[in-house]
Amino acid sequence: MSHIVLGYDGSDFSVRALEWAIEEAELRRLPLLLAHAWQWPYGQAIEEAKGHLRKAAEHVLSHGAECARASSSGVRVDTDLYEGSAARRLVGLSGGAALVVVGSRGLSALPRAVVGSVAGYVAAHADCPVIVVRGPGPGPARTGPIVVADRAPGPAVLEFAFGEAALRQVRLTTSADLAGWAELYPGVRIGPGDEPATLMVTGRRQGTRFGAAGFLLQHAPCPVAVVAEP
């Protein structure tokens, strides 16, 4: 768990995710890996045409890396260019990562459209926590609370939520039993905040349907962290 992975495609949604990923890398003092995947969408292709597409993909990734280096405070930025499925590549990279950050277009008419998107697929299958940054709007909030949105959060969810609250020096809001957790994180204030949430955190349990996480990926007013529970 030595770096942050960002899924980057040059869209407004991934640019906002880039802002969030840089902040996470700075707070955690970890390097950032920008990952971009490309693939020929029209069946059989001549190599020259595929070469042009690859060059375009290289340009997108290079530009993202330049932006990250220019706007961060000494974060090491590496890149990963992959031919194939973006969703599967990000899941593959999640095995050695502390966190994966992806952008999302936000509201969708159909739940299955969210779950079937790159962001939804990664959130449902990654080996590490995934933050889905919804919509292209302004950069990440810094002062609102971290909200545990799981009705019965497991230890992985609470550990991640407390960790984020400690890093960002903001409140933690939850209705869960926190016996023992407050002692582990004495610097974290617990209780509702006066400002909109910075981040909502929920769990994803293996062998079950996407459930509450899928609902939040559709409707939450802020970025959502999905944390795998045993």
Q: Per residue in 183-230, pLDDT tens?
A: 999 999 999 878 889 999 999 876 555 667 888 888 888 999 999 987
Q: What is the pLDDT of residue 115?
A: 45
Residue 26 domain-assigned (yes or no): yes
Q: What is the largest CA-CA distance in the chain?
A: 62
* pLDDT for residue 104: 85
Tokens of 58: 């290289």
d(CA 202, CA 225): 6
- Given this model, what pLDDT does residue 206 score? 65
Return the pLDDT at 28: 96
Q: Is 199 contained in some domain?
A: no
Q: Decide if 119 contacts 104 (C-beta within 8 A).
A: yes
Q: Tell me the C-alpha distance between 190 and 210, whole Å.
A: 28
- At residue 155, the pLDDT reads 94
Task: For residue 210, give both structure tokens.
Answer: 């996407």
Mark the ranges of the chain whose per-residue pLDDT is less than 70: 1, 43-45, 105-116, 135-141, 206-211
Predicted pLDDT at 138: 60
Q: Residue 106's domain spans which residues? A: 4-140
pLDDT at 143: 86
Q: Is residue 54 part of a domain?
A: yes
| Alpha helices per DSSP H over the chain | 12-28, 47-71, 86-94, 111-115, 118-125, 155-168, 181-184, 212-219
Number of domains in the chain: 1
The CATH number for 84's domain is: 3.40.50.620
Residue 50 lies in a domain: yes
